Structure 1
Amino acid sequence: MKFTDAHTSDTICTPTRYGILTGRYSWRSGLKKGVLRGNSHHLIDPARETVASFLKKQGYATACIGKWHLGMELPKKSKKPANGPASEVFGVSEFAPNAYGFDYSWGVETFNLSPHCYVENGQALGNLEYIDSKDEIAARGIEGNTGWLADDFNQTEVLEKTADKTCGWIREHAQEPFFAYMPLNAPHYPLMPRDEFRGKSGLSLHGDFMMEVDWAVGEVLKTLDELKLSENTLVIFTSDNGIAHKVGNAEMQAKGHFSCGIYRGCKGNIWEGGHRVPFLVRWPVTVKAGVGNNDLICTTDLLATVADLCKVPLAENTGEDSVSFLRALNGLPIPGNDSRGIVHHSDQGTFALRRGKWKLVLDDGGPSPRVNPKDQPIINSDATVMLFDMETDEVESTNVAAQKPETVDAMMRELASIVFNGRSTPGPTQQNEKASKGKWTQVDSLRSYCK
């Protein structure tokens, strides 16, 4: 089943990954804009329920294999940068995926930020060397910042090892219910496909990296087939944001390939190209193959969906922005979907609200280096409030806010309610966390609508 109106909860990696696991918009946490850096403070409160912790309670084996990017806080054993076995440089992290319901974890904290090493169950691996020269880190084959580099770490091998580790873990747990979360490093920058994929797309390095992504997903599907688990295993493939701006879009578009399709914008933008993403579901025992679905859904919806599948209600302070799409998988309408409001969020922390055919945007997208080369200026552009009719103007070409003041007012009030009530689903009011840095100025324009 292909969902054609599926959206990430944010337009960049860290916050979207937070939302996938918690069923909660990331801007409710202390991170009001941007992403975490390498070895950052943990973003998810260990007391918060996640998809993994929920499923673990239902008897599932759980694993996170891939790129975490939610803050691991690997504890340094020395105040000064040290070299040597990783276990002597870093202690075991208390905030690895294992702290959030995963029985097993392996992967990278980020893909281009130090420490450049694999981490298994919270322990960094390999022999580490601290490199403070950009030229030297580049000479070692790393596209990223300076810092610790493990002797067994090669960026071109990360995707292959992620697929292999995932397939191996599935084989080990084939006789029990399992949840495998495989957050990929690709096609995030730097574009580092293996040699056998370089040039294969005929488009660009980004196209080549995407072909390796396709291979990696195919390896998992093949493993399920080999184990005769395909029929009753629910597989979901999606992304954490739209295509990045610095991966050769102009080059690909000149060849007739548009990664965002008709949509405006790209990664980081509040426009559709930043958050409308592929969302594919395979579950042969339930989902009819080759069908499309145009229900409006969000990547925060996974938690409510698995809870619905397990027939276990979520607690009032869990999955505050998560709505089950299980009925859609059964070919039935999602209750209340026509009136549901989904919040979009940019890399700069600005907001948009989608409800039905209307999209309210509190941002004009600029100034930003994240630009899609094909985009044309918006007619009647406004830096504060814009409104688009997504039925007749999916490309967000014309702002009609001036013609629909009542719609703008109603959606501003709805957005303010969603933001300040701490949830977008029915239930008691919850608290948003204070900004970890500075003030949360992006919500100032909404405060008057709470009165």
Structure 2
Amino acid sequence: MMVDDLGIGDVGCYGNDTIRTPNIDRLASEGVKLTQHIAAAPLCTPSRAAFMTGRYALRSGMVSMGRVQVLLFLGGSGGLPPTETTFAKRLQQQGYTTGLVGKWHLGVNCKYRGDHCHHPNQHGFSYFYGLPFTLFNDCIPGEGSDVLVDLHHALWNLTLFLGVGLVTMVCVRVCGLLEVRLWLLVALFFLSIIAAAVWYVPFMLLPTWNCIIMRNQEVIEQPMTVETLPQRLLGEAQNFIKRNADHPFLLFFSLAHIHTPLFKTPAFAGKSRHGCYGDNLEEVDWIIGKVTETVDSLGLANNTLMYFTSDHGGHLEDSDSLIGQKGGWNSIYKGGKAMGGWEGGIRVPGIFRWPGRLAAGRVVDEPTSLMDLYPTLKYLAKDTQPDRYLDGYNLMPLLEGKAVRSEHEFMFHYCGIYLNAVRWHPPGSDSIFKVHYFTPNFSPPGAGGCYDTKVCLCHGDHVTHHNPPLLYDLFHDPSESRPLTPDTEPRYAEILEETGKAVEKHKRTLTNEQTPDGSPSQANTDVVQNQMTWEKILWRPWLQPCCGTFPFCGCKEDTTHF
């Protein structure tokens, strides 16, 4: 169960005492809570790619070199490459029935509408119901837009300029003030039509293009009705569990909460102490409770592993004057969504519950990763077949108390395609050192985030490089507020040297993949194409999923049974 944009400080069992999350807290009290659970990226698309594959998103090309850091259009050609392997595909091969309910955001089509090369069904999920894209502000009128707003405005201004120019030229010609050639009027007319189409079709119809619901490879609602989405996703998750209760199954329940726009479900509206955002969090907790109740009522608790997490930290910049804060709280940790390697953007809740196997109330303070789910599920499914190079590790020894140290001696933190920071957990030491090679610039200066761009960027003038790097000890300074120096840390030079060696070793695995023991892997030797280029991100009408005849797309799901 993965929540979208949930801050680690939003949950009761992680220290929040003003938002009610009894069902999530119950999972922690009945299972194992991870306190240093780390996302591989501080943004949806790269984090989810790493989560699904057990590998840094760079290995699958799901990282950005520029300003666009996530997939923006369902009609783009970028997405999780067909050559990649997900944990769902591995378990499907082991006889599990696999399902994904909720958000995907890892692409749909490659070359033409309906090839579904990036679709969940092609990545190991035998059943899919939900959002092939994500929930975003464009899905609700009046909430504004999340997609290339400056380009949107520039195209509108160009259309307006050409339109005014055309009208002016026509008036000048009709009034006989100047001689205006007919070919010039015709050229202006066609330029105005083209500019209007380039502005209107991709941007003004975004709810139709991106805000859709699919069941498997069929578009069943376009645009979607957001108000009923929580009930529908919950119902689908519960029904999947019930349908498959008698045989091995894997369900990835990827919630649309707590990404904006926020829901206004009447049963929860106005009930929390933190406005609409708090209401949504308490609805999330209720949903988690209903899923847990379904598992328990079917007698599945003792042989079912339940896992709760978030794809990355809360979005600090998301707020407005009417609703107030729309993004999460990341507790004592600096930064948030899209802020590189700062802890607030990558440290997330991590809870495992399995009454038949895991001791209740256990807490693990060792570094772990969302990428660890892949090898953990492989181990539990008794999958011993050769695999690609993995960056995650099997968590069961830590969860069961059979190991006290994480296998993650080093962890690498990316900001887009760029290696941003490294953490080192030296053998025999409680310290966890974090080295920042560069950090995103907060704008305006001194603020807690990048408020004029809404998300921080990872390149050029948007970052500050540090020479020497910034160095922190997360064990003694988890909020990353006191940089270490050679005077305050005796191991200062050693830390920089060891992390530098680790970076070089890590880079070698990106170009010449091998298994952790040094033997060749089953890696695809083809060069992985970057999936986040402008060429792959921008909207193409021939790739757009559609119910009906394109471009007249439109349909509604029958929701009377929800």
TM class by shorter-chain length? 0.7 to 0.9
Contact 1:322 1:425 in 2 (8 A): no
Q: What aligned pairs does 1:259-274 form with structure 2 within 5 A after superposition?
A: 259-269=329-339, 270-274=341-345
Distance 1:238 1:43, change over 3 A: same
Rg bigger for which structure?
2
Q: Which of the numbers 37, 62, 67 marks the counterpart of 2:98?
A: 62
Q: Deviations over 1:378-421 (max 9, x none)?
A: xxx96352111112111111222555133112202212321331
Q: Does the 8 Å CA contact 2:101/2:128 hold for their aligned counterparts?
A: yes
Name whichever of 390-399 and 32-41 sits farther off.
32-41
**3-state DSSP of counterpart to 2:497:** helix
- 2:528 paired residue number: 433
2:411 partner letter: I
- Say whether residues 1:340 and 2:409 are aligned partners: yes
- Does residue 1:386 correspond to 2:409, yes or no? no
Query: Separation in 1 of the partners of 2:509 and 2:80?
Result: 20
From 195, 216, 222, the counterpart of 1:121: 216
Deviations 1:174-196 (A, max 9, x none): 11110001111110121224122
8 Å contact kept, 2:378–2:384: yes
Instruction: Report 1:151-170 matches (<5 A).
Output: 153-170=224-241
Q: Deviation of residue 27 (structure 1)?
A: 1.8
- State the 1:74 CA deviation: 8.2
Is the contact between residue 92 and residue 124 of structure 1 (CA under 8 Å) also seen in structure 2? no
Superposition RMSD on alpha carbons, in Å? Answer: 3.1
1:51-200 matches, within 5 Å, as 51-73=87-109, 91=114, 93-109=116-132, 110-112=134-136, 114-126=209-221, 149-150=222-223, 153-200=224-271
Deviation at 1:314, TM superposition (A): 4.8
Distance, in Å, in 2 between the alignment partners of 1:213 and 1:361 is: 34
The 1:52–1:438 alpha-carbon spacing in structure 2 relative to 1, beyond 3 Å, is closer
- Alignment size in residue pairs: 393
Residue equivalent to 1:398: 482
Q: Identity of aligned pairs, percent? A: 27
Q: Distance in 2 between matches of 1:372 and 1:215?
A: 34
What's the CA shift string for 1:317-375, capped at 9, x where partnerless? 25x212001112212216663x6211122357442111211111122221457997499
Structure 1 residue 299 and structure 2 residue 370: aligned? yes
Q: How far apart in 2 are the matches of 1:277 and 1:183?
A: 15
Q: How has the CA–CA distance of structure 1 residues 402 and 160 changed in structure 2, closer, same or farther, with 3 Å as cutoff?
A: farther
Q: 1:92: Cα distance to partner?
A: 6.3
Pairing 1:309-320 to 2, within 5 Å after superposition: 309-318=380-389, 320=390
Tell me: CA distance 1:179–1:223, structure 2 relative to 1, closer, same or farther (3 Å).
same
In the alignment, residue 21 of structure 1 is paired with which amino acid?
M
Whether the 8 Å contact between 1:268 and 1:347 is mirrored in structure 2 is no
Residues 45 and 406 (structure 1 numbering): CA distance in 2 closer, same or farther, change over 3 Å? same
Distance in 1, Cα, partners of 2:466 & 2:337: 19
Tell me if the contact between 2:314 and 2:336 (Cα under 8 Å) persists in the aligned partners. Answer: yes
- The secondary structure found in structure 1 opposite 2:210 is coil
Secondary structure at the aligned position of 2:258 is classed as coil
1:25 to 43, 46, 56: 56
| 1:253/1:25 CA distance change after superposition, 3 Å | same
Query: Matched residues in 1 for 2:248 and 2:56: separation?
Result: 28
- Residue 435 of structure 2 aligns with an amino acid whose one-letter code is L
What CA distance in whole angstroms lies between the structure 2 residues aligned with 1:184 and 1:30? 25
Corresponding position of 1:82: none
Which residue of structure 1 aligns with residue 281 of structure 2?
210
User: Relative to structure 1, is the Cα distance of residues 374 and 10 closer, same or farther in structure 2, using a 3 angstrom cutoff?
Assistant: closer
Paired position in structure 1 for 2:83: 47
Q: What do the CA deviations read for 1:142-169 (whole angstroms, capped 9, x no partner)?
A: xxxxxxx42xx22232222111101011
**Deviation string for 1:193-212 (max 9, x for gaps)?**
41222222221322211111
Q: 2:60–2:84: 8 Å Cα contact kept in structure 1?
A: no
Given that residues 37 and 347 in structure 2 are in contact (C-alpha distance below 8 angstroms), is that contact kept between their aligned partners in structure 1?
yes
User: 2:156 maps to which residue?
Assistant: none
Tell me which moved more, 341-350 or 324-333.
Answer: 341-350
**Contact 2:314/2:329 (<8 A) preserved:** yes
Q: Structure 2 length as normaliser, TM-score?
A: 0.64
1:286 aligns with 2:357: yes
Relative contact order higher in (CA < 8 Å, ≥ 6 apart) = 2
Q: TM-score, normalised by structure 1?
A: 0.79
Q: Distance in 2 between matches of 1:245 and 1:371?
A: 14
1:449 aligns with none
